[in-house]
Amino acid sequence: MKQEEIETLKERVIAVLKTIYDPEIPIDIWTLHLIYGVDVDAEGNVKITMTVTAPNCPVAETLPAEVQIKVQAVMGVKSVDVELTFDPVWSIDMLSDETKADLGLDGEYGSFTAADFMY
């Protein structure tokens, strides 16, 4: 696969990631910055490094599996390896100002993690 084809495949993978939503926050996992890396090699193997909003997140097992299944369905993808990491730990500070505003978090709230919003 040529570099241009690799980049096109990566763009298709990212487009799919933008259709997967965190069930507790009505924002896709790409916009939430739960995806730390997307690497595509010349054979079409995809490695995704991702996190969830908190280590005790109820979808810590199912969300990476959903990512793997949906990315595997992208034409041109040979295999998918999803690595779940908590380094760095996800926090509200990773969100864009626009996303914070969409969530009503655009004031001076300091630094938060998702655990601060759990019941």
Q: What would the pLDDT profile of 86-115 be if each residue is shown by its tens digit?
A: 999 998 888 888 888 887 776 655 555 555
**Can you list the domains of the chain with their CATH numbers?**
3-89 (3.30.300.130)
Q: pTM for this one?
A: 0.84
Q: CA–CA separation, 93 vs 91, rounded Å? A: 5
Which tops the pLDDT comparison, 112 or 27? 27
The rounded distance, in Å, linking the Cα atoms of 40 and 85 is: 19
CA proximity to 48, closest of 34, 28, 27: 34
Coil, strand, or helix at residue 30? coil
**For the chain, how far is it from start to end, CA to CA, in angstroms?**
48
